[in-house]
Amino acid sequence: MSFSIAVAGKGGSGKTSLASLIIRYLRKNGVGPILAVDADPNVNLGESLGIEVEQTVGSVIAAFDEEKMNLSPGITKETYLGYQLSTALVEQEGFDLLVMGRGAGPGCYCYPNHVLTNFISILAENYAYVVIDNEAGMEHLSRRTTQDIDVLLVISDHSVRGVRTVARIRDLIFELKLAVKRQAAVINFVPDRLDPFIVEELARLSIEPVATIPLDEEVHRYDLRLKSLLDLPDTTAAVGAVHDLMTEILSGRSKNKNVGTDY
């Protein structure tokens, strides 16, 4: 049975970079196979991992809509779509990547999200870990596409607004009664220490981060030059912080303590 880790948070909080570093950790520690999922219409995970993506779930659906009326007798639409979706899976050493991409019209992402969610549930049986990079904001929660998650990491940048978004996501998950076994807040892009204003806001909202990820110039340089974050050296500060984070998460899993919330 696969173990699913998803990231959520406001735009600019570093979700994609963190998802990439989680994939790096899992691959380096040989606990795969891993299914990496870019569930953001603004596809970035492939670039962060140094992978060129040619097919997405969105592009497969668009092509299917044009072809479905001309299928050969005996081939169902479901079978044909399932086969075409498999062509969107990019195979890499230690992990595979699946990208949602854009919907069938301006701002139309509901159907690709639905197809992606169903396809992930089928694929997950073949993987030890599933890592999902969600779109920014809270819409994916309202559409209930973030469901049946073992660990949801809610990411904030080093800002009061980011921390407040974490609280809103926490409250929405509770309100919608989403199937998320464990939630944990992570503060990203932290300089030498948390700013006192952020510490005060965390206390006010009763949020205790499970980890803080340092502001890392090496990660910034890799992103700027479109270099794969998989190639970051072990000595990189953010890599070390994600190592500690994942050690805690996987330790909690082995002790069967991954139920509830760390807020």
| Domain of residue 132, residue span | 3-261
Q: pLDDT category, 176, cuts 50, 70, 90?
A: confident
- Distance, in Å, from the CA atom of 143 to the CA atom of 140, rounded to the nearest integer, reads 5
Cβ distance 185 to 262 under 8 Å? yes
- Distance, in Å, from the CA atom of 68 to the CA atom of 130, rounded to the nearest integer, reads 30
pLDDT > 70? residue 231: yes
**Percentage of residues of the chain with pLDDT beyond 90:** 54
Cβ distance 7 to 134 under 8 Å? yes
pLDDT tens-digit profile of 49-106? 999 998 888 888 888 777 666 666 767 767 777 778 888 899 999 999 999 886 555 4
pLDDT > 70? residue 142: no
The CATH number of whichever domain residue 22 belongs to comes to: 3.40.50.300
Backbone φ and ψ of 77, nearest 5°: -60, -40
What's the distance, CA 256 to chain centroid?
22
- Distance, in Å, from the CA atom of 101 to the CA atom of 190, rounded to the nearest integer, reads 30
Q: What is the mean pLDDT of residues 20-42?
A: 92
Q: Residue 194: what pLDDT?
A: 96
Q: Around 198, how many Cα atoms within 13 Å sit in the side-chain half-sphere?
A: 22
33-53 burial string, b = 16+ CB within 10 Å, else e? ebbbbbbbbebbbbbbbebeb
Q: Residue 130: what pLDDT?
A: 94
Q: What is the mean pLDDT of residues 137-157?
A: 74
pTM as predicted: 0.88
Reference 206, options 255, 250, 164, 156; nearest CA is 164
Q: Residue 94: what pLDDT?
A: 93
Question: What are the structure tokens assigned to 248, written together?
Answer: 């805690």
Count structural domains, the chain: 1
